[in-house]
A and B are shown apart, each in its own frame.
Chain A
Amino acid sequence: MTDLSKDRLLELYRQMVLIRRFEEKAAEAYTAGKIGGFLHLYIGEEAIAVGACAAMRPDDHLLTAYRDHGWAIARGLDPKRVMAEMYGKATGVVGGKGGSMHMASAAHRYWGGHAIVGGHLPLAAGVGLASVYKGIDEAVVCSFGEGSTNIGYFHESVNLAAVWKLPVVFLVENNQYGMGTAVERASAVKRIAQKGRAYDIAYKTIDGQNVLEVYEATKEALHHARTKGPYLLEAVTYRYSGHSMGDPERYRSKAEIDSWRANDPIFRFRDWLYSHRLIDDATVDAISDSVEEEIAEIMRFAEESPEPPDEALWEHIYVNPQEHR
């Protein structure tokens, strides 16, 4: 059924729980005014980041959109520093200069959460180009919402990746809405994966609420990317929260949300673990307790971390700032 060990599977479960709790605490901190700007929560979509990152090699590359906290944690960034980034603290993953939408870590080959819709797709093509240029098989996972597939960048990037056979997995997180606009109201093609046909590349639609399916599909897509070229993978999912904090959510019903909650990725995975006798109540409780402990530590770290120094304002505008302005 899966090549993942029990420990690895339990680790994926724990990650999903951690991301869920992390996002709930983020919402709370946002409401309390501790987090500024926009806050886009990943609740309901945890299986995709966790499953996809599990399939990636450490030397592969990741670029995502701005709903990126879950991705950052799944890719292995320190959750304390992810929360501290949202708090705008010096200890944040990018020193408090990016905020919620702009997590990144060169060490994790996570080349950023990007907040211009579709803007990171050309970049992902370029990262893939570098692998081809260098003659190495590092591949790229580039995740984005289905709304991005209507923008020019999607077509330019997928086309170039196809022409140059770049090792890029274009991973669509189809959560049904681009902000408040339902997919069928915005895209002529409802089954997003079919857009791969236009560029004659491999494509597939999967259940994004099933972490193991995401894992397996991403693994396959990455292999394809390394050997043959780009792959368009559509993971169907749902976000329980609004687009961002403060979304009035006039575009959907409570009943719709509830129907998706019945298909919750964490519960489904837990049930799967139970059914395969890989988990028991004690383990579930232990994981829950350890997550709560970690969350407490994450929030304490974010709260107590120092503000960036004033000098930070002038740092990193350029690698080589010219002396004379």
Chain B
Amino acid sequence: MARLTMREAISMALREEMERDDRVFLMGEEIGVWGGTYAVTRGFLDQFGERRVRDTPIAEGVIVGAAIGAAMVGLRPVAEIMTINFAFLAMDMIVNHAAKMHYMFNGEIKVPLVIRTVGGGGRQLAATHSQTPDVVFAHFPGIKVVAPGTPADAKGLLKAAIRDEDPVFFIENALLYQVRGEVPEDEDFLVPIGVSDVKREGKDVTIVSYSRMLQTSLQAAERLAKEGIDAEVIDLRTLRPIDTRAVINSVHKTNRMVIVEEGWRAYGVGAEIAARVYELAFDHLDAPIRRVAQAEVPLPYNRRLEQMALPQVEDVVHAVKDVLYLNE
């Protein structure tokens, strides 16, 4: 075990996989000479050279498209899209190509590709650079969408993604890069894709979250504990394929649930999880499910306004008390 930041954990995963398998290479904007705009790949160019650490033009379509092509013929590309907001420029590649080809060509073609990208708001980057559109990507069968909330999961999931035979959209969060946690140094430490995880056990209420909002939810749980409320916190970790087993088990125990996501509420993760709980565990609910999510506005630049729009610890605390009927 080592105590690492999320950034270090992700770098470690990339480095280990590149050392393990020559088919693995990186391509993306500013990942080589610059060292990555979030410094995740700092030092990689020196270690692995230009063949395996490929700076690309600013052209998201061909970054993802060429990675798909290389994956089709046996390589293991890790394409980096600088931020998730730019992934919209590669949307057709992700949705119409990466997600479709294995199925549409009846297994003739495989696309073992990882697209790494960074999402989330809270850094005063204004509306186009602050989005959390994770669910947009998770909407499509054929692609896997992973969004870790802890350094250990980031390492284990990224390594699993690189070794996976399917296209994986790997969403990091800029505000999580500094978060520290214990990370196994084992080079074969993998976290399975498509398995959610109980991050904190509790009996009074279930908080479901992922990515940065996992940290927010855990902080809320600590605050609630001081008031005698024992919250269980579940980390989805993977948005597609979604794993609701831990969620359903937890609702059987607590009968109450709050879902916390950084993205917008409408058609969001909360909507999906809530619907599944209503379908699978309706008879175990003691209160309507509450969702905590981003205000339905394009994020503003102004710091105070931006923070108003983003889910905060106190929002989670309030929602939990709501489902416990403690607010009046």
Contact = CB atoms under 8 A, between A and B. Distances in A.
Contact of A126 (B70, B101, B195): B70
B286 interface: no
A237 to B, nearest CB: 26
A163 B62 CA distance: 12
B109 A130 contact: no
A112 B101 contact: yes
Interface residues of A, number: 50
Given A98-B105, A321-B241, A325-B242, A157 B75 contact: no
A152 B51 contact: no
A119 interface: yes
B264 interface: no
Interface stretch (B53-61, B127-135, B202-210): B53-61
A126 B106 contact: no
Given A112-B109, A125-B66, A127-B72, A94 B142 contact: no
Contacts, number: 160
B104 A126 contact: no
Nearest to A109: B73
Contacts of B37: none
Interface in B67-101: 67-75, 77, 92-93, 96-97, 101
B227 interface: no
Given A116-B92, A318-B142, A320-B166, A125 B108 contact: no
A122 B93 contact: yes
Nearest to B196: A324
B241 A324 contact: yes
A184 to B, nearest CB: 26
A124 B69 CA distance: 6
Contacts of A104: 105, 108-109
B144 interface: yes
A145 to B, nearest CB: 17
Interface string A58-88: 0001010000000000000000000000000
A106 B108 contact: yes
Given A98-B104, A104-B105, A316-B106, A322 B59 contact: no
Contact of A122 (B68, B141, B193): B68
B321 interface: no
B265 to A, nearest CB: 23
B303 interface: no
B62 A111 contact: no
Contacts of A120: 97
Given A123-B97, A152-B61, A97 B103 contact: yes
B102 interface: yes
Contact of B144 (A133, A159, A163, A318): A318
B105 A156 contact: no
Contacts of A322: 144, 192-195, 238, 241, 243
Contacts of A240: none
Contacts of B228: none
A324 B103 contact: no
Interface in A32-76: 61, 63
B109 A111 contact: yes
A193 interface: no
A213 B126 CA distance: 56
Contacts of A121: 62, 65
A321 B142 CA distance: 9
B165 interface: yes
Given A320-B165, A324-B241, A112 B66 contact: no
A153 interface: yes
A319 interface: yes
Contacts of A133: 25, 51, 70, 75
B70 A163 contact: no
A133 B144 CA distance: 26
Given A320-B166, A324-B194, A125 B69 contact: yes
A315 B92 contact: no
Contacts of B25: 133
Interface in A140-179: 152-153, 156-157, 159-160, 163-164
A133 B71 CA distance: 12
A102 B109 CA distance: 12
Given A111-B72, A322-B238, 13 more contacts: A94-B108, A98-B105, A125-B62, A126-B71, A126-B77, A127-B69, A127-B72, A129-B69, A134-B75, A153-B62, A156-B59, A156-B61, A324-B241
5 contacts: A61-B73, A122-B66, A126-B68, A315-B106, A317-B102
Interface of B: 25, 51, 54, 56-57, 59, 61-62, 64-75, 77, 92-93, 96-97, 101-110, 112, 141-142, 144, 164-166, 192-195, 238, 241-245
Closest 9 CB pairs of A and B: A122-B65, A126-B69, A322-B194, A319-B165, A126-B66, A95-B106, A156-B62, A123-B69, A94-B106
